[in-house]
Amino acid sequence: MGAARSCFYGPVGVGKSSVIRWLDARAEARGVPRGLALTTETLGDLTTALSRAYPHVDVDSVTMRHARSRLRNAFEQRPAVLLLDHLGQTGRAFKGALRSLRGMGAGVLLAADVDQPRDHDRVRRLHLAQHEVELPPLHGSTMRTLMRSMLAAVDLPFPLRTEDVSALVTAAGGLPGRAVWIVETLHDSGAWRNGRPRCDWLRVEAIIAAAERYRRQR
């Protein structure tokens, strides 16, 4: 029986990588083997994740083919949690290796950036996941509560008015990752003009920053 494979998807900045990091920390705290891949496209990415899950397995003194065989055997004996972020256009070798993983318990969680319907179509055509979960942008009231909580925890150079908070919530666009970036950037004097936050500028810069992080990770 193959390891259970699930995929959760949503727009850049919705918090998928944060969920991945939280699950990684939870698995570590519980003593569960876990392997993390920051990008997921090649067979090498999968091999790296498995190597992190089973650091005791010697993969340096053998060929990559034998290394993958050893790691696969380790997975079968004690299944790990594999956390595979930023799912890209994987090839046949990656798909075959992923589907060859056997064992009960644990499993594989993939995360995919989906900003447009065509992105979701691309992910589905990979046929990697048995289950899908969407992480949509947060609703306005939830986003407002989150933003207020984050703002209350930081010291800002100027006080915020109620309308400023509303504008910052709008700038975040329902994306927790973007909200975190905006709050952190409010420490920069360039994020303010005449004692008011430059909300439109923050929104555009947050989009640019997210795109740059995604480019570097790929």
Q: What are the tens digits of pLDDT across the range 89-116?
A: 899 999 999 988 887 677 899 999 998 8
Residue 94 to residue 45: CA distance in whole angstroms: 9
Residue 173 to residue 160: CA distance in whole angstroms: 19
pLDDT tens profile 137-157: 998 899 999 999 999 989 999
Please calculate the CA angle 64-67-70 and round it to the nearest 5 degrees: 155
Residue 12 to residue 178: CA distance in whole angstroms: 9
Bridge partners of 84, per DSSP, are 37, 110
pLDDT tens profile 160-187: 999 999 999 999 999 998 998 999 999 9
